[in-house]
Amino acid sequence: MKLLYQTHSPYARKALVFAHEAGLADRIEVVHHETSPTQRNAQVFAENPLGKVPVLIRPGRSPLFDSDIICAYLDTLHDGRRLVPADGEARWQALRVQAIAQGLCDAGIAVRWETVRRPEALRYPPLRDGYIGKLIASYDWLERELDVDSPMHVGHVALATALGWLEFRELPDFRGNRPRLAAWFDAFQTRPSMLATPLSGDTHD
C-alpha cells in the first residue's frame, strides 16, 4: 500500500501513527505530497477529488481518503486488539474523542487562515476569535472528559496528533490550567509511533 502524505498535516500524521500502532507501518510506502486549497496537486486529485491527503492507495482496489476512513480500514488488517472499538460505550467514547480532535484541527486551520495565511487586508478578526473560542472550549472539555485511563483507541491517536500539530503551529495553548490533558499528551508523545512521525515543513499557498 502507499500513503499519500504531508509532513505537516495532522490528518495525514494521524493515519500514519495509527498504522504504527496497528503494526502495519512496514506494509505502507509513505509518499509526501504538498497540497493546499490554492495549489492544485494533480497527483493527489487523481486519487481524491477533494485534492487532500491522506490517501491510501490499495493495490487492485479503489483508493481510500479521509483519515477516519483510512484508520477504520487499517483496523481490519491486523490481528491485535481493535483500536476502533466495535460496540458499546467504548465505541462512542472513542469516536467522540476522534470528532473533537478533528474539530481541533479544523478550527486551528481556520485560525491560521485568519492570522498568517490569508492576505492581511482580507482577514476577519471576529471569525478568528470565534474559532479560538472553539479551541478553548474543546480544551476545557477534554480536561474534564478525556478517558485517560482507558485502553488506547483511535480517538487517542487523533487527539495526540491534533495537539501535537497545534503546538507545532504555535496556536492557542492547551496546557494552561489543564494539567490532566497536558500530562496525558506528554506521555502519549513518547510512544514510538509519535517519535517515528515528526511534523516538519510549511504550507505552500
- Tell me the residue type at 91: R
So what's the pLDDT on residue 164? Answer: 98
Burial of 135 (C-beta count, 10 Å sphere; 0-12/13-18/19+): buried
Domain boundary among 21, 49, 74: 74
Q: What is the CATH number of the domain that holds 180?
A: 1.20.1050.10
The answer as to whether 200 is a domain residue is no
Helix (H) or strand (E) holding 86: none
Answer yes or no: is 196 within a domain: no
Collapsing DSSP states into helix, strand and coil, what is residue 3? strand
Tens-digit pLDDT string for the chain (205 aa): 999 999 999 999 999 999 999 999 999 999 999 998 998 999 999 999 999 999 999 999 999 999 999 999 999 999 999 999 999 999 999 999 999 999 999 999 999 999 999 999 999 999 999 999 999 999 999 999 999 999 999 999 999 999 999 999 999 999 999 999 999 999 999 999 999 999 999 888 8
Give ∠ CA 85-185-99 in degrees, rounded to 5: 45
Last residue of a domain, one of 74, 104, 132: 74
